[in-house]
């Protein structure tokens, strides 16, 4: 008798049926059986909490809020497949970037934020790389970033045509962000 040429064939059909059943069940449940991602559904209360963070209204002396960006922008973005909540504010600042760095290091740390450093590039100065802080634990974790921006970047990212407030310097954007469920997240994850 010739040897069997497909020793795994008896297992192929049950395996295929199991996979088909799993995919069908996932389809009927809106893919929740396969997807670990969160959506923006039912996040209004958490977005409101982010918008009310006092750090968003704290700025170094001399910083001004551009006329058309006066309100805190807040919302939920889920275009990457996993939702992210944010509240941010843009400021114009005529002074040196180091003054912004020093202000937020002091102000954020006094408010319980923990400064994080990038493990990959310790040589990048904060005046270029910006700052990142974390606060809270699993369930109420927040992320705070301070990034420097230019008039051109504001136009690209916000559709904002910067006025004369950016003529004598640059600006910065401060953002408080969170996972939809408040899961702990790091600056460099």
Q: Is it the case that residue 11 has pLDDT exceeding 80?
A: no
pTM: 0.75
159-177 pLDDT, tens digit per residue, is: 888 777 777 667 899 999 9
Torsion sign, CA atoms 17, 19, 22, 28: negative
66-76 pLDDT, tens digit per residue, is: 877 888 999 99
The predicted pLDDT at position 8 comes to 33
The span from the CA of 146 to the CA of 106, in Å, is 13
Structural domain boundaries in the chain:
8-37, 44-179
Q: Is it the case that residue 98 has pLDDT exceeding 80?
A: yes
């Amino acid at each position: 008798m010739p040897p069997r040429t497909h020793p795994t064939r008896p297992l192929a059909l049950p395996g295929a049926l199991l996979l088909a059943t799993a995919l069908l069940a996932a389809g009927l449940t809106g893919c929740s059986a396969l997807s670990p991602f969160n959506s923006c559904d039912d996040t209004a209360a958490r977005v409101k909490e982010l918008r009310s963070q006092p750090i968003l209204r704290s700025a170094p002396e001399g910083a001004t809020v551009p006329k058309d960006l006066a309100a805190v922008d807040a919302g939920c973005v889920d275009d990457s497949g996993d939702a992210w909540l944010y509240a941010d504010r843009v400021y114009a600042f005529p002074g040196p970037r180091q003054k912004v760095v020093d202000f937020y290091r002091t102000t954020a740390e006094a408010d319980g934020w923990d400064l994080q450093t990038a493990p990959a590039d310790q040589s990048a100065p904060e005046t270029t790389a910006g700052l990142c802080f974390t606060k809270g634990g699993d369930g109420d974790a927040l992320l705070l970033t301070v990034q420097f921006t230019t008039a051109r970047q504001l136009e690209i990212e916000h559709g904002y045509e910067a006025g004369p407030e950016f003529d004598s310097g640059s600006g910065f954007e401060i953002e408080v962000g969170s996972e939809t469920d408040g899961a702990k997240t790091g600056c460099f994850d």
